[in-house]
Structure 1
Amino acid sequence: MSERAREPEDLARLFVERANSGDVEGLVALYEPDAVLAVAGGGQVQGSAHIREFYASLLAEGRQFTPGTVRPALRKGNLALTSTVLTEGNATAEVARRQPDGSWRWLIDQPRVVPPGP
């Protein structure tokens, strides 16, 4: 079984580790089963099956991910707003939820907050 996020801030580190090792199932495990993920062009995918398809396609391109600067999570009960400042001048924003076992998983993921410049 893959390592679980013990704190919401762990999700970003686990994402980079799993993506760079080509672990699609490990990436899907970071999300709740009905999570929503924003994708290029203003679209979104929802649910484990669609998130799996998206990451399988993305990782097939051989892309590598660089860790950014993980910001402290903003918490309210079992919810947390997570974010990472990326080296290429962008940032991520996600909503994570504490699971019954105490681990954290993303419910909403916006991997590119800053729109591309002209």
Structure 2
Amino acid sequence: MTENAPVRERAMRPEDLTRLFVERTNAGDAAGVAALYEEDAVMAYPPGSQTVGREAIRQLWEQVIANAPTMVPEPPLPTLISGDLALTSTPPRDGAGARAQVARRQADGSWLRVLDQPEFVTPTA
């Protein structure tokens, strides 16, 4: 960490990741959003593609934030934890599909996202 790097809250529970994601996006902090992911994390975004790695996620989120989105927290579904892995999810406010993430506990006890499926829409028949 460099001298001028901001000190950011760490996710000490898997559920903290979603709250911090929303807070940092709303604050325009793309680097802070990317810091919620492991170095080689995979985000299934934009729809139909994947963004791989923390740096690529930061670059993508800079573009997203440039459009000044306002994110509203969504109530989480129950978290599933097995050892150092956790599955978190939230139902979108519009009720279409779901969002799901896999997080891993880090050596310091904090959690980072490994896999992120921010938009999962149930196919229609």
Structure 2 residue identity aligned to 1:59:
I
Alignment counterpart, residue 112 of structure 2, candidates 105, 111, 116: 105
Alignment partner, residue 17 of structure 2: 11
Whether 1:92 aligns to 2:99 is: yes
Aligned length: 118
Secondary structure in 2 aligned to 1:3? coil
Gaps of 5+ in 2: 1-6
- Largest Rg, 1 or 2: 2
Shift of 1:116: 7.6
Instruction: Tell me the TM-score normalized by structure 1.
Output: 0.93
Alignment partner, residue 70 of structure 1: 76
Secondary structure in 2 aligned to 1:43? coil
Secondary structure in 1 aligned to 2:70? coil
Instruction: Tell me the TM-score normalized by structure 2.
Output: 0.88
Structure 2 residue identity aligned to 1:85:
P
Gaps of 5+ in 1: none
Instruction: State percent identity of aligned pairs.
Output: 50
C-alpha separation between the residues in 2 aligned to 1:55 and 1:115? 25
